[in-house]
RNA sequence: GGUCCCUUCGUCUAUCGGUUAGGACACAUGGUUUUCAUCCAUGAAAGAGGGGUUCGAUUCCCCUAGGGACCGCCA
């Protein structure tokens, strides 16, 4: 058995969206599961639309979510000579031919087909012409001689058998009038040269596969296995596209979604293994297979992304969580000051219980960093005379204790509740407001203990 | 319009001819609680429709309907 080799081959003509990332993930997981290799190929042969920034964005996205690839990026535009060479080989073998139709002529035919409501297919006008007929003044395109008769069968690893009449596949262009190769040529040549064994891609490529297989066969190359995965749809059931609002990984990371959570979500979108929902990295490699991929498109559901993220926040170890938080703050908020790092890390055990996202942790941890908060008007109203009095009594009480922890604080607060004839809220609410600037947030004891005696004293003394 | 593909709770899905059709998210209700949450319990919620095959179909086949993808000298 050959070593499994897969690739992800995006074109840098727009930002990579979450659907593309899932395709990359499936390829990566498949190769890892088989002990194989995974490559990244940048398909940048469209010079006009390819942008360096998109290439960088693709690379960074894969890096962020933890998909690594062999040997750096394979840049397709650097291999154009190989593609042209193959085109000429096909020409020599008589398996491709020069077509002298002008673009206008082709456009005209398409238009007419549309008017008559009949399917357009190139009429193979130059397929069997001899060289003596060639006009001198036009640069020809090279077309592949597609099979005209019979059927082709694709044994797709996800979709099963797909049958198609050969005459529905036209003589497609492999070399443009300017001599540059087109997608179907470049992709097959590269996949062959890179030794790809399995091509896993969106099912929008199904028809291309029938074209590409013909190129393989014409060149006597071994045909790889194909697996066409259903596309991800938007909530209104349309294919995720580079234009209109298709979410990128940046969109998710900037609201505090963690890469491992998104990876898990993406894995389970259109793939399943029994009833299992949570897959850590090793498990996802261990269990991933092509059989588990469903045949129907699936819709992106943001609430599941949140809940997956929440699960990871609550269940990964706090060292890792803190690393994610640190990175998140640096890239999307502001760097956590050195002086606050330890405090926040030590507070994660309660901060994480209130968080769905890293942003939630960030927000709820602000009181640890910043004591110059503004108390909201409606909160200030709650700080009436009795409340202020309770706070003063509390200050006196904590000055009497040397150890400052839950055990020593509980009796103090209990006493205050009794002596002021109030309930926990009557004491807790004013304290929380004065210490954090908000009615909402962590538990009172968590706030007190994480700030420490001195800071609590300092903040409370300013009130009144 | 042509070709190809798809169809189980709102969403992601389990089931590989026999199940009270299961789980997760979301939702609703109740409980715990120290605000906001968490957590726990409970509930509502699905086989597109019609034919076959079969002792028995969500599962296999056909038709219909609905949805999607592709139909570039883009990738």
For A250-266, how does the pLDDT look when each residue is reduced to its tens digit (9 = 90+)?
Answer: 999 999 999 999 999 99
* Residue A99, nucleotide of least CA–C1' distance: B73
Check whether A385 has a pLDDT greater than 90. no
- For the cut 80, the answer to whether the pLDDT of residue A245 exceeds it is no
Within A243-318, strands assigned E span 298-299
| Region A204-210 average pLDDT | 96
In this predicted structure, what is the pLDDT of residue A89? 97
Residue A375's contacts (CB-CB under 8 Å, 6 or more residues apart) are A383, A433, A434, A437
Q: Give the integer Cα–Cα distance in Å for A385 and A262.
A: 49
Query: Which nucleotide has the shortest C1'-to-CA distance from A304?
Result: B25
The highest-confidence range among A112-116, A193-197, A370-374, by mean pLDDT, is: A193-197
pLDDT (average), residues A115-125: 81
How many Å apart are CA A95 and CA A106, to the nearest integer?
22
Say if residue A153's pLDDT is above 70: yes
Q: Could you give the percent of chain A with pLDDT greater than 90?
A: 78
Q: Is the CB of A421 under 7 A from strand B?
A: no
pLDDT of residue A433: 92
- For chain A, how many residues are written? 464
Name A443's Cβ contacts closer than 8 Å, sequence gap at least 6.
Answer: A350
ipTM over 0.85: yes
Distances (CA, A) of A402 to A220, A253, A398, A454: 84, 43, 8, 11
Backbone phi and psi for residue A298, each to the nearest 5 degrees, phi listed first: -120, 150
Q: Is the CB of A376 under 7 A from strand B?
A: no
- Sheet of A96-99, strands arranged across: A96-99, A141-144, A173-175
How far apart CA A459 and CA A430 sit, in angstroms, is 12
Task: State whether the beta carbon of A75 lies below 7 angstroms from any atom of strand B.
Answer: no
Q: Tokens 């203990």 belong to which residue? A: A449
Spatial separation of the C-alpha atoms in residues A454 and A464, rounded to whole Å: 18
| Window A155-194, strand B contacts by Cβ < 7 Å | 159-165, 168, 172-173, 176-178, 180, 182-184, 186-187
* Chain position carrying tokens 């996202």: A357
Q: pLDDT grade, residue A106 (50/70/90)?
A: confident
In this complex, the answer to whether residue A114 has its CB under 7 A from any atom of chain B, a nucleic strand, is: no
Question: Which residues is A7 bridged to in the sheet?
Answer: A39
Q: CA–C1' distance A287–B75 (Å)? A: 31
Contacts of A172 (CB under 8 A, 6+ apart): A122, A143, A144, A146, A182, A184, A211
In the block, tokens 């050969």 appear at: A166
Give yes or no for CB of A439 within 7 Å of strand B: yes
- The nucleotide minimizing the C1' distance to residue A307's CA is B25
Q: Which 269-298 positions of A have CB less than 7 A from strand B?
A: 269-272, 274-275, 277, 292, 294-298
Tell if A68 CB is < 7 Å from nucleic strand B.
no
Lowest mean pLDDT: which of A124-128, A147-151, A315-319? Answer: A124-128
Strand partners, A385: none
**Structure-model confidence comparison of residues A314 and A107, the more confident one:** A314
Tokens of A443: 């538990």
* pLDDT score recorded for residue A378: 78
Query: CA–CA separation, A201 vs A230, rounded Å?
Result: 9
Å: A275 CA to B45 C1' = 19
- The structure tokens 């031919």 sit at A97
Rounded to whole angstroms, the Cα distance separating A6 from A70 reads 11
Global confidence as pTM: 0.95
Q: For residue A75, what are the β-bridge partners?
A: A42
Closest residue (CA to C1') to nucleotide B26 in the complex: A303
For residue A75, give every residue at least 6 positions away whose Cβ sits within 8 Å of its Cβ, in sequence order, or none.
A41, A42, A44
For residues A451 and A398, what is the distance between their CA atoms, to the nearest angstrom?
Answer: 13
In this prediction, residue A464 carries a pLDDT of 58
Helix, strand, or coil (residue A366): helix
A403-416: pLDDT as tens digits: 898 989 999 999 99
Strand B interface, A 129-148, C-beta < 7 A? 141
Nucleotide nearest to A104 (CA to C1'): B73
pLDDT-derived band at A102 (thresholds 50, 70, 90) equals: confident
A378 in contact with nucleic chain B (CB within 7 A)? no
Does residue A194 surpass a pLDDT of 70?
A: yes
CA distance A165 to A151: 4
Q: In the predicted model, what is the mean pLDDT of chain A?
A: 93
């Amino acid at each position: 058995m050959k070593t499994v080799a897969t690739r992800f081959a995006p074109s840098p003509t727009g930002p990579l969206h979450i659907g593309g990332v899932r395709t990359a993930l499936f390829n990566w997981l498949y190769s890892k599961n088989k002990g194989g290799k995974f490559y990244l190929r940048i398909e940048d042969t469209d010079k006009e639309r390819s942008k360096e920034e998109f290439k960088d964005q693709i690379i960074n996205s894969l890096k962020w979510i933890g998909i690594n690839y062999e040997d750096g990026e394979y840049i397709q535009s650097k291999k154009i000579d190989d593609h042209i060479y193959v085109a000429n080989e096909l020409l020599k073998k008589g398996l491709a031919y020069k077509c002298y139709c002008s673009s206008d002529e082709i456009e005209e035919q398409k238009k007419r087909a549309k008017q008559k409501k009949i399917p357009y297919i190139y009429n193979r006008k130059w397929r069997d012409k001899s060289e003596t007929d060639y006009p001198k003044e036009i640069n020809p395109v090279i077309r592949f001689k597609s099979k005209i008769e019979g059927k082709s069968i694709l044994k797709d690893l996800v979709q099963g058998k797909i049958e198609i009449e050969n005459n529905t596949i036209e003589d497609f262009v492999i070399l443009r009038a300017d001599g540059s190769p087109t997608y179907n040529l470049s992709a097959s040549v590269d996949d062959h040269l890179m030794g790809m064994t399995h091509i896993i891609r969106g099912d929008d490529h199904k028809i291309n596969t029938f074209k590409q297989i013909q190129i393989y066969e014409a060149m006597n190359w071994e045909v790889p296995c194909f697996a066409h995965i259903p596309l991800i749809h938007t909530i209104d059931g349309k294919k995720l596209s580079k234009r209109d609002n298709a979410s990128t990984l940046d969109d998710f990371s900037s609201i505090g979604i963690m890469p491992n959570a998104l990876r898990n979500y993406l894995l389970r979108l259109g793939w399943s293994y029994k009833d299992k929902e949570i897959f850590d990295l090793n498990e996802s490699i261990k269990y991933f297979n092509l059989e588990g991929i469903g045949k129907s498109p699936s819709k992106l559901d943001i609430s599941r992304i949140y809940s997956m993220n929440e699960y990871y926040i609550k269940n990964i170890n706090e060292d890792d969580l803190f690393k994610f938080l640190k990175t998140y703050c640096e890239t999307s908020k502001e760097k956590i000051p050195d002086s606050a790092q330890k405090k926040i890390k030590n507070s994660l055990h309660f901060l994480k219980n209130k968080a769905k996202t890293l942003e939630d942790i960030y927000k709820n941890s602000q009181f640890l960093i910043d004591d110059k908060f503004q108390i909201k008007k409606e909160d200030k109203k709650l700080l009436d005379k009795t409340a202020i009095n309770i706070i003063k009594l509390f200050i006196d009480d904590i000055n009497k204790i040397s150890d400052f922890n839950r055990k020593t604080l509980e009796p103090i607060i209990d006493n205050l509740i009794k002596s002021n004839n109030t309930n926990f809220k009557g004491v807790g609410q004013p304290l929380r407001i004065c210490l954090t600037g908000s009615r909402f947030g962590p538990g009172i004891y968590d706030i007190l203990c994480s700030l420490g005696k001195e800071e609590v004293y300092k903040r409370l003394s300013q009130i009144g």
